Chain A
Amino acid sequence: ILNVEQSPQSLHVQEGDSTNFTCSFPSSNFYALHWYRWETAKSPEALFVMTLNGDEKKKGRISATLNTKEGYSYLYIKGSQPEDSATYLCAPNNNAGNMLTFGGGTRLMVKP
């Protein structure tokens, strides 16, 4: 079981604000880092799967960066909207196994 930490645990922002949060994970035997978005009463939805150090991925207003040497990833949301309110989970996959260990998540609430 990997030690995966996400910060902050929760975040309240105003509509239109840009925000970011962090996922820290062990850098040894790194294979991939997943980000998921989980809205209340819905299924977790895959956002990104990142594998390369220095990788940056973007999906609309959401982007993520990856540093595998120091073991962290940032998720950025530009111009937050109320519909972005959700819990954002990161999950590293080490050793290419079929096993993700989820962090505790960052709960984002965007106020109109």
Chain B
Amino acid sequence: DTEVTQTPKHLVMGMTNKKSLKCEQHMGHRAMYWYKQKAKKPPELMFVYSYEKLSINESVPSRFSPECPNSSLLNLHLHALQPEDSALYLCASSQDPDYGYTFGSGTRLTVV
């Protein structure tokens, strides 16, 4: 298995909802990432997990809460989001900084 799987592919949620994005990889990669991508902008790093521990949090608002239950899974819990949080959320994994990332196909999130 050489893929990163993200679910759901699309999500529409209200500002008072609580939802979660899921990311899974079975390549034994030790690092996993969440990126946010707005239209016509580059992906922006949100969080990095290394060996299941949060190693980088790029000053992301607390309404986004990451979780890494095990080495294969990465979740992003969402609560009280704003319409401006609507974006494509990409998950990626890597074995080592010397190797490229493997990206999932993303979750297209719309906050209404």
Contacts and interface: CB of A to CB of B under 8 A. Distances in A.
Contacts of A32: 97-98
Contact of B56 (A4, A93, A99, A103): A99
Nearest to B33: A98
A102 B42 contact: yes
Interface residues of B, number: 25
A44 B103 contact: yes
A93 B50 CA distance: 16
A51 B98 contact: yes
A98 B97 contact: yes
B33 A49 contact: no
Contact of A31 (B42, B55, B97): B97
A98 B105 contact: no
Interface string A35-54: 01000011111111101000
Contacts, number: 61
Given A98-B56, A101-B45, A102-B42, A43 B103 contact: yes
| Size category, A interface | 20 to 34
A31 to B, nearest CB: 7
Interface string B35-75: 00000011111001010000110000000000000000000
B31 A43 contact: no
B94 interface: yes
Given A34-B100, A36-B100, A100-B45, 19 more contacts: A4-B42, A32-B97, A34-B101, A36-B103, A43-B102, A43-B106, A44-B90, A44-B92, A44-B101, A47-B100, A89-B42, A89-B43, A97-B97, A98-B50, A98-B94, A98-B97, A99-B45, A99-B48, A104-B42
16 contacts: A4-B42, A36-B101, A41-B105, A42-B105, A44-B92, A44-B103, A46-B99, A46-B102, A48-B100, A89-B43, A96-B97, A98-B31, A99-B56, A100-B45, A100-B101, A102-B44
